């Protein structure tokens, strides 16, 4: 038995499924999750002392590489001064100003402790601001695990969603409409039918929770126009894409100004933070200024803010995102060419520092196309890569992430491992 296997058995006795977040349990790929002991730069080491090139990066936050010395120093310095005060600090102003400067659609911002809290609060705010109840989300997009967002599509167009999790009352999802990503006609018809009832539309502006999916230009533009025309709040959920696909996030690449933006992952630099912000007239509806209640004991936690602020400063180094984008693109090119040589139906895509791998001939554009890819092949590929020392997301439906710490040698070693893996598929 490996040490990870022993730890997994022990964990399962007191932690449901042995993990504190479900995808970590390897449920979709099978086998034993690797228990991690430490990480540095692009590498992580498991409890058996095996080293992996890591393309999960804590699901995004580790954009400057794991355990970056400046981030660690900032955390240590903040910790010495006290872990939490429940009272305001100057560093919270610093990070709010930095966020507003980097993401110009954010005029005001509030910090929370997770991405889930950010999206849940942004939706409550949009409902409070508009006085409307209905919300739209897109199939395959993940916005955290709050009740009204754990929804799958209803049986037909313009029917409201059904809970996608046990424990969510059907009444709670009755106000959530689930539409197909990239479907301009369906979106237009929905607004034509009930535009005046829609409080907000929430979208992953590049989807990263159904593997990586790009929106079409027409889809993005239609969405902005319809929200404006009908007085609905457009929420860009940039918890994953923020500071990753570009310094100013997906909205910079789209040239779109959303009304509200949610952030998480990178904004905490590996510590628990989320944030939501946007138009000042909307943000002023939150307590204590307005009637929409929102609060948090650990919101704006000084240690988390120190990690986030240092990370936000590091990613402003000249050429940071260009280099990240080139690295992800060269990984994708290498993998596509290795698969072609082996005759394996495979495609891949990248946007900035995020990439998607698909065991199918063409890059998918919506959830139905993603789920048509060959999952069994992905699972075998995943385990061959893991054995070869490459840590990919343990699911065919997750995006991958590169960091500034990934070297050309890391990319070459990964492509080399993939070449051998494809040959065995």
Q: Which residues are catalytic?
A: 142, 237, 265
Name the residue nearer to ligand PLP (CB basis): 223 or 240.
240
> Are 234 and 226 contacting, i.e. CB atoms less than 8 angstroms apart?
no
Please report how close the Cβ of residue 397 comes to ligand PLP at its closest, in angstroms.
12
CB of 158 vs ligand PLP, minimal distance in Å: 25
Cα gap 362→369, rounded to integer Å: 9
Residue 21 or 424: which CB sits closer to ligand PLP?
A: 21
What does the DSSP assignment read for 321-352?
A: HHHHHHHHHHHHHHHHHHHHHHT---EEEEET
Q: In whole angstroms, how close is the CB of 299 to ligand PLP at the nearest point?
A: 14
DSSP string, 76-125: HHHHHT-S--SS--HHHHHHHHHHHHHSTT-SEEEEESSHHHHHHHHHHH
| Distances, alpha carbon 251 to alpha carbons 11, 114, 181, 195, 257, in Å | 41, 21, 17, 23, 6
- Compare residues 4 and 173 and give the one whose CB is closer to ligand PLP: 173
Q: Cα(356)–Cα(384) distance, rounded to whole angstroms?
A: 18
Give the nearest distance from C-beta 209 to ligand PLP in angstroms: 5
Q: Among residues 16 and 82, whose Cβ is nearest to ligand PLP?
A: 16
In whole angstroms, give the CA distance from residue 4 to residue 24: 13
| Residue 241 CB, nearest approach to ligand PLP (Å) | 7
Angle between the N-to-C axes of helices 184-194 and 217-230, in degrees from 0 to 180, rounded to the nearest 10: 10
Binding site for ligand PLP (CB under 6 A): 114-116, 119, 142-144, 204, 208-209, 237, 239-240, 264, 274
Question: Would you give the distance in Å from CA 375 to the centre of its chain?
Answer: 21
213 close to 281: Cβ distance less than 8 angstroms: no
Cα pseudo-dihedral 217, 221, 227, 233, rounded to 10: 60
46 vs 237, beta carbon nearer ligand PLP: 237
Structural contact between residues 396 and 385, judged by C-beta atoms closer than 8 angstroms: no
Cβ–Cβ < 8 Å for 262, 276? yes
Task: Name the closest residue to ligand PLP (Cβ).
Answer: 115
8 Å CB contact between 293 and 299: no
Least distance in Å: CB of 118 to ligand PLP? 7
**Which of 182/209 has CB closer to ligand PLP?**
209
3-state secondary structure (DSSP) of residue 174: coil
CB of 49 to ligand PLP, least distance (A): 29
Q: How far apart are CA 79 and CA 302, in angstroms?
A: 8
Nearer to ligand PLP, 263 or 339 (CB): 263
Name residues whose C-beta falls within 8 Å of residue 33's C-beta, 6 or more positions apart in sequence.
Answer: 4, 8, 18, 19, 24, 25, 26, 394
Alpha carbon distance 189, 95 (integer Å): 40
Phi, psi of 135 (to 5 degrees): -130, 155
**CB-wise, 18 or 144, nearer to ligand PLP?**
144
In the complex, the smallest distance separating the C-beta of residue 253 from ligand PLP, rounded to whole angstroms, is 16
């Amino acid at each position: 038995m490996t040490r990870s296997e022993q730890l997994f058995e022990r964990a399962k006795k007191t932690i449901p499924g042995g993990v504190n977040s479900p995808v970590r349990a390897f449920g979709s790929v099978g086998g034993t999750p690797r228990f991690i002991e430490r990480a540095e730069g692009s590498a992580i080491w498991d409890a058996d002392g095996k080293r992996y090139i890591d393309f999960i990066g804590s699901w995004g936050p580790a954009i400057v590489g794991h355990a970056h010395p400046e981030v660690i120093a900032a955390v240590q310095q903040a910790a010495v001064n006290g872990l939490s005060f429940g009272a305001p600090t100057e560093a919270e102003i610093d990070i709010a100003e930095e966020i507003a400067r980097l993401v110009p659609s954010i005029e005001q911002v509030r910090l929370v402790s997770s991405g889930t809290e950010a999206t849940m609060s942004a939706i409550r705010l949009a409902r409070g601001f508009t006085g409307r109840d209905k919300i739209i989300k897109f199939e395959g997009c993940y916005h955290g695990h709050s009740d009204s967002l754990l929804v799958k599509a209803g049986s037909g167009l313009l029917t409201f969603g059904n809970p996608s999790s046990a424990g969510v009352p059907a009444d709670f999802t009755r106000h959530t409409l689930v539409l197909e990503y990239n479907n301009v006609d369906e979106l237009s018809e929905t607004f034509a039918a009930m535009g005046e009832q829609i409080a907000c539309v929430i979208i992953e502006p590049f989807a990263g929770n159904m593997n990586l999916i790009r929106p079409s230009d027409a889809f993005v533009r239609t969405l902005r126009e319809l929200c404006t025309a009908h007085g609905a709040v457009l929420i860009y959920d940039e918890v994953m894409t923020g500071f990753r696909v570009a310094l100013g996030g997906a909205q910079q690449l789209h040239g779109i100004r959303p009304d509200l933006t949610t952030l998480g992952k990178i904004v905490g630099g590996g510590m628990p933070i989320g944030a939501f912000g946007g138009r000042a007239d909307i943000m002023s509806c939150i307590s204590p200024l307005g009637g929409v209640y929102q609060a948090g004991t650990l919101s704006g936690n000084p240690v988390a803010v120190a990690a986030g602020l240092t990370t936000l400063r590091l990613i402003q180094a000249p050429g940071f995102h260009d280099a990240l984008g080139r690295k992800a693109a060269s990984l994708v090119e290498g993998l596509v060419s290795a698969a072609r040589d082996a005759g394996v139906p495979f495609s891949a895509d990248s946007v900035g520092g995020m990439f998607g791998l698909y065991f199918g001939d063409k890059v998918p554009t919506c959830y139905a196309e993603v789920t048509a890819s060959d999952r069994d092949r992905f699972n075998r590929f995943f385990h061959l890569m893991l054995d070869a020392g490459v840590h990919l997301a343990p699911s065919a439906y997750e995006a991958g992430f590169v960091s500034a710490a990934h070297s050309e040698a890391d990319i070459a070693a990964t492509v080399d491992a993939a070449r051998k893996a494809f040959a065995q598929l």
